[in-house]
Amino acid sequence: MGVMTTVLCRTAQAVRRAGGRLRPGRKQVLETGAGAVYALGQLLRDRQLRAPLAVIGADSAGAGYRLRQSLEQDDVPLRVIDDLPPRPTAAEGERIAAVFREEGLDCLIAVGDGAVLDLVKAAAARTQSGNRTILDMAGAGRIPRRRLPPVIAVPTAAGSGAESMAGAAVTDSRGTVFFLEGAALIPAVAVSDPDLLADAPREKVADEGLNGLCRCMEAFLSASHKDSGAMTRAAQGTELFFACLESCWNTGGSPQDRAELLTASRTAGRVASGSGAGGYARAMIRAAQTVCGLGFAPACAAILPAVLEKYGIPAQERLAALAVMADLEEEGDRSQRAAALIARLRSMTFRMGLPDRLEGVTSAQAAEIADMAAAIANPRMVSPVVWSRRQCRQLLDRLCAGEPEEEG
């Protein structure tokens, strides 16, 4: 990476990170605990919301049934959309926004995983965007300035932090991931009911949980030295994910495990809302999802530890500090604690049956992922080092199941 390019990236990242610290957060109402979903009817009545639109994910029928029970007992009428495909796209968000406007509804309730929550948040912005589509609003500063309709987030899988994050990831029909940013996208209400996580599919638990863990670990590396609060939150989220994710994936987890996973998820959403939070791991994972259709968990299991390792000495001090703050490793010197933390991550994903390589990804696809990842990360995402496309490609070639092609 050239010196001038590195300087430009670092300057843009510094400005963006400073802006994130100064931007006021949106106050959110939080309902927590077993059975929290049954408080929704009264909450709507207290807020004088009389015409909700509930969007229920494909694998969240049980939670949708409980939601209907909650609102029926409080005589709240409910319009429902429950025919989303397993992988909804921005086109579904356009449909949700159209139904909301045409039927004169006044709030949105999102019931599902992070993809469903993000889609509904994007649909809320679409209701106020005029002729701009959801994909037109991708990027920073493109969310309408007008007040958005309230969104009530009811997660049925925890980890991504969509229920507390000032952003929304949506895909187009080709699987390309787009990201909308803005404090207005933080849901007005988050319902963290551990009972709703009990039946989450294992694949979903892994995808969401590793999504949140990746957010927290990269946020810790990218946080300003002056922002001790951001570092503390990222460490707390990391500790919680390591403590409860594997149990929730393996057996569904105890009620306490599920409650802690929801807490970790909300923490991940908060740390992800900081400008510049992220890094090359997330950029490569997003690119791998777009190029190859990989799930987040298998992509993360291969990419995140490899990226943390490749950062080398520039990241060792932060990783060693994270190991101590997250109560994961205190023995050894700085390099030993950093290596132990990465080894702990690899051991957990191995026990979860996830690969340590990008299985089935060709050399040509690796090149495409590298190009896309560098474009995503530079200059916006703050990392210990600034990498070029070539450096991204070198890492990805090592992770591919086949032998890498010779560089031309």
Q: Which stretches does DSSP call E strand in 42-123?
A: 52-56, 79-81, 107-112
Phi/psi for 235 (5° steps) reads -65, -40
Give 188's contacts (C-beta < 8 A, 6+ positions apart). Answer: 26, 28, 29, 107, 150, 151, 152
Token pair for 322: 């994270």
Q: What Cα–Cα distance (Å) separates residue 269 from each residue in 72, 183, 252, 261, 263?
A: 31, 12, 22, 12, 10
Say if residue 58 is exposed, middle or buried (CB neighbours under 10 Å; 0-12, 13-18, 19+). middle
Burial 363-392 (b: 16+ CB within 10 A, else e): bebbbbbbebbbebbbbbbbbbebbebebb
Write down the pLDDT at residue 25. Answer: 53
Write down the pLDDT at residue 380. Answer: 75
Q: Which domains does the chain have, with CATH numbers?
A: 27-197 (3.40.50.1970), 201-399 (1.20.1090.10)
- Indicate the residue type of 93: G
Give 202's contacts (C-beta < 8 A, 6+ positions apart). Answer: 249
Three-state secondary structure call for residue 277: coil
CA count, 13 A, side-chain hemisphere, 299: 24
- pTM value? 0.89
Q: What Cα–Cα distance (Å) separates residue 243 from each residue in 81, 95, 248, 252?
A: 35, 39, 10, 14
Q: What is the pLDDT along the chain (408 residues), one digit of tens a residue?
A: 555 445 444 444 444 544 444 344 568 999 999 999 999 999 999 999 999 999 999 999 999 999 999 898 888 899 999 999 999 999 999 999 999 999 999 999 999 999 999 999 999 999 999 999 999 999 888 999 889 999 999 999 999 999 999 999 999 998 888 999 999 999 999 999 999 999 899 999 999 999 999 999 999 999 888 888 989 999 999 999 999 999 999 999 999 999 999 999 999 999 988 655 679 999 999 999 999 989 999 999 999 999 999 999 999 999 999 999 999 888 889 999 999 999 999 999 999 999 999 999 999 999 999 999 999 898 878 889 999 999 999 999 999 964 444 443
Three-state secondary structure call for residue 177: strand
Write down the pLDDT at residue 242. Answer: 97
Write down the pLDDT at residue 278. Answer: 78
